[in-house]
Amino acid sequence: MLTQVSRRLFTTDDYHRMLQNGVLTEDDRVELLAGEIWQMSPISSRHAACVKRLNQLLSRLVGARAIVSVQDPIHLGRHSEPQPDVALLQPRDDFYTDAHPEPEDVLLVIEVAETSQEYDRAVKLPLYAQAGISLVWFVDLMSECVQTYSQPTPQGYSEIHQYWRGQSVTLIPFPDVSIAVNDILG
């Protein structure tokens, strides 16, 4: 006799209850993606430095026109709540006190990857596209480039560009803001 085995996918409500009941803690480096709880890679000093640089650069260049969110959740629907390294959010007086930002609140998501390129590209980028996140930057520390993804579709992003050292990336929501790849990578 064959036994049917199926996976149980978690909802964001389940995930939040696990946090409230101590099954998961804020110290657990996990995120909910497509109903599964994924353990995130450890953050190297190089990765952390890049996130700090992005935080400082974006805060200075964008000012009060957006909220810079660092490693905070974004609610993508019933089964996904990723924690991108950096996000630019629509400004709100309450700073999203009552709920995590939704896709329509997100101006830019930035993922920094040193050892997690495959995971970020295969798992997180498609979820961002399916949710309608209009702009994602992927900072690849190994290749020393910044890839930009825009024009989301249910199958992924239809427009992808690469920027290397010596080049600058313009922030589409704020065309007056360009950031040198050298400044992002350090």
Count other Cβ atoms within 10 Å, centred on residue 63: 12
Mean predicted confidence (pLDDT) in 100-129: 94
pLDDT greater than 70 at residue 89: yes
- CATH homologous superfamily of 42-185 equals tt1808, chain A (3.90.1570.10)
Burial (CB count <10 Å: 0-12, 13-18, 19+), residue 138: buried
Q: In the chain, what are the domain boundaries? A: 42-185
Interatomic CA distance for residues 45 and 49, integer angstroms: 6
Terminal CA-to-CA distance of the chain, rounded, Å?
A: 60
The model's confidence at residue 8, banded by pLDDT at 50, 70 and 90, is confident
Higher pLDDT, 109 or 38: 109
C-alpha–C-alpha distance, residues 160 and 76, integer Å: 21
* pLDDT grade for 1, boundaries at 50, 70 and 90: low
Q: Is the pLDDT of residue 116 over 90?
A: no
Q: What is the pLDDT of residue 46?
A: 96
Task: Show the tokens assigned to 149.
Answer: 């993804």
Residue range 19-56, pLDDT digits in tens: 899 999 888 889 999 999 998 888 899 999 999 999 99
